């Protein structure tokens, strides 16, 4: 089975709606988000939302694949 190059896509989901997504420090949009046509390689994925602890990961994008990433953000505990 051959996988077409233009099918390269990542999908980012989160337990919290409308969390901000950054790839290599550049804002991409809000969750639930699909990003197409990324080149194969390693990327920094950061997901943030006000009132929650940000999460950052190194992800590997593979040519011709559709990959799914799920990020769980935890609520921030603020001290007075």
Does the residue 78 lie in any domain?
no
* Sign of torsion over alpha carbons 23, 48, 59, 66: negative
The domain total for the chain is: 1
The whole domain housing 56 covers 5-73
| 80 within some domain | no
Find how far residue 52's CA is from the centre of its chain. 16
Q: Coil, strand or helix: which one is 25?
A: coil
Residue 24 to residue 43: CA distance in whole angstroms: 6
In a domain, 50, yes or no: yes
Q: What is the CATH number of the domain that holds 30?
A: 2.60.40.10
Give the model's pLDDT for residue 8.
Answer: 87
pLDDT for the residue numbered 1: 40
CA distance 60 to 58: 7
Distance between CA atoms of residues 20 and 22, nearest Å: 7
Task: For residue range 6-29, list pLDDT tens digits in order.
Answer: 678 999 999 999 999 999 999 999
- Interval 20-74: pLDDT, tens: 999 999 999 999 999 998 899 999 999 999 999 999 999 999 998 999 999 999 9
Q: What does pTM read for this prediction?
A: 0.85
């Amino acid at each position: 089975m051959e996988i077409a190059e233009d099918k390269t896509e990542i999908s980012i989901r989160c337990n919290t709606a409308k969390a901000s997504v950054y790839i290599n420090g550049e804002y991409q949009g809000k969750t639930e988000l699909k990003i197409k046509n990324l080149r194969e390689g390693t990327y920094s994925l950061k997901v943030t939302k006000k009132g929650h602890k940000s999460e950052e990961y190194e992800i590997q994008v593979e040519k011709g694949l559709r990959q799914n990433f799920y990020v769980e953000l935890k609520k921030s505990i603020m001290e007075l």
